[in-house]
Amino acid sequence: MFKTIKAKVFFFVFLLVSGTAFLFSLFTTDVMEKHLMKEILQRTELLARSLSASASYHFISKDMLGLDHTIFHAKEKHPDIESIALVDKNWNILAHTDIEKNGMRFIKSPGNDVKHTEDLIIRKVESGYEITSPLTFANQNLGYLVLKINASSILAAEKRMKKNILIIFTVILALAGAITIALSTIITRPVNNLIKGIEALRYNKIEGPLPVYSNDELGKLTQHFNELVNTVTIQQESIKYYAIQLEESFISTVKVLAAAIDARDPFTMGHSSRVATLSSRLGEKMGLNKAELEDLEISCMFHDIGKLRIPDAILLKKGSLDTAEYREIMKHPEYGAEILRRAPTLHKYMPAVLHHHEWYNGKGYPYGLRAKEIPISASIIAVADAFDAMTSSRPYRKGLSLKDAFDELSYWSGKQFDPDIVKILLELLRKEGRTIFKHKQERLTI
């Protein structure tokens, strides 16, 4: 659901703060409502008791004008009073703020008692509260004062209170959101930097130590990461140095091995090196990248390694080979691949070694691959190998001139050799023939 730590921190902290604020607002509202109700009821109770004491004096002296003045003055002074009634013991109205009800029998409004004592009864009725207080004088019950409070003032006070609480709750939510965003940013900033640092380390693109924003656990983790990067960088430099040394040693070993293979036959001395030179130039013209050219060059050095398993009687035979001998010499690509297979680091050179005698038309060996089925490195080596063989002298024949050799390659283009590679070779020899083949002195005019 949440894909980032920042989103998780924001959600849970905001949920915690907003939930706490909401519960607090409910609790506050309930407490304030109860407090407001208590204050109103206390005020009303005091008013009722005060009016009862005053009315009792006018009641005992039969001062009806005083009674009217008392209740009307109280209603005028307190707008939330809906009505005031003074009744005798039989609940006949003696004085009422609604003059038309004077002389009528008082009827209690339906409701529930909120407070009931000997000297005060508070009832919750539909429109508000009805407070009944006895009129006494010298412990003699004269009648009752009935005070009715309109709930609109209470509701208005509650509304104002709830509005204020809502405003406070909204402010708290806004502050909670801002604080949560700031908190999640503070927490996730070093984490995001560590993620970026790990990605940079993964792709070897570290530009410097990560900034440390605090001294807490995340700060210490960042410091440890910087120390780790420093250690890894030092080790990488050492590994790079030794890798270069190892690579140079490996290439030197390959060249020595290739020279040893060529040395078995004095007439093929330098063959692998020349094939590697020509193949590299062909590969450049064909757009191979640096790594591919390096692999191609080493493949050229290995391309005849399988001849180590060919007996000298066959390999150095001066006359023509018989069928059995020819079949044995045809196995040298497979022998070479088998030798390379024993070392996992040399496996990438196997395709070129195994298939450099495949033909473009599918009539080559060992598997009869054709056209684009043949690895491009093998097709390049096939052309370079054949061209060098044609131009090198043997005991039984003199090497061909560059022109004759190229004519021969042109004839077999599209049959034995990839026509695109042959075409590139022609362009290369026209421009750099004597540079590439320094052992050939004639000028190439094609």
Question: 268 to each of 55, 271, 385, how far by Cα in Å?
Answer: 140, 5, 11
pLDDT value at 336 more than 80: yes
Q: Please report the pLDDT score of residue 441 as a whole number.
A: 42
Which of 52, 120, 62, 124 minimizes the C-alpha distance to 84?
A: 52
Average pLDDT over residues 304-331: 87
Q: How far is it, in rounded angstroms, from Cα 338 to Cα 341?
A: 5
Q: How far apart are CA 121 and CA 128, in angstroms?
A: 14
Mean pLDDT of 417-439: 78
pLDDT at 309 over 70: yes
Q: Which residues is 93 bridged to in the sheet?
A: 87
Give yes or no for a contact between 131 and 146, defined as CB atoms under 8 angstroms apart. Answer: yes
Here the tokens at position 110 are 């339906």
Three-class secondary structure of residue 114 per DSSP: strand
Has residue 67 got a pLDDT over 80? no
| Cβ–Cβ under 8 Å, residues 403 and 446 | yes
pLDDT, tens only, 268-291: 667 888 899 999 999 999 999 999
In this prediction, residue 158 carries a pLDDT of 67
> Cα separation of 263 and 275, whole Å?
15
Q: Which amino acid is present at 246? A: L
Q: Within a 10 A sphere around the Cβ of 376, how many other Cβ atoms?
A: 18
For the purposes of burial, counting CB atoms within 10 Å of the CB of 102, is it exposed (0-12), middle (13-18) or buried (19 or more)? middle
pLDDT tens digits, 7-16: 666 677 777 7
The token duo for 106 is 């008082």
On the question of pLDDT at 208 being above 80, the answer is no
pLDDT, mean over the chain? 80
Is the model's pTM score more than 0.75? Answer: no
Preceding omega of 209 cis (within 30 degrees of 0): no
Residues 93/86, Cβ–Cβ less than 8 Å? yes
Most confidently modeled of 54-63, 256-265, 416-425? 416-425
Indicate the range of 97-101, 185-189, 281-285, 359-363 predicted with least confidence. Answer: 185-189
Q: What is the pLDDT of residues 372-418, one digit of tens each?
A: 999 999 999 999 999 988 888 766 677 788 888 888 989 999 999 99
The answer to whether the CB of 77 falls within 8 A of the CB of 87 is no
pLDDT band at 436 (very low <50, low <70, confident <90, very high): low
* Contacts of residue 255, Cβ cutoff 8 Å, sequence gap at least 6: 273, 301
Q: Would you say 130 and 48 are in contact if contact means Cβ atoms under 8 Å apart?
A: no
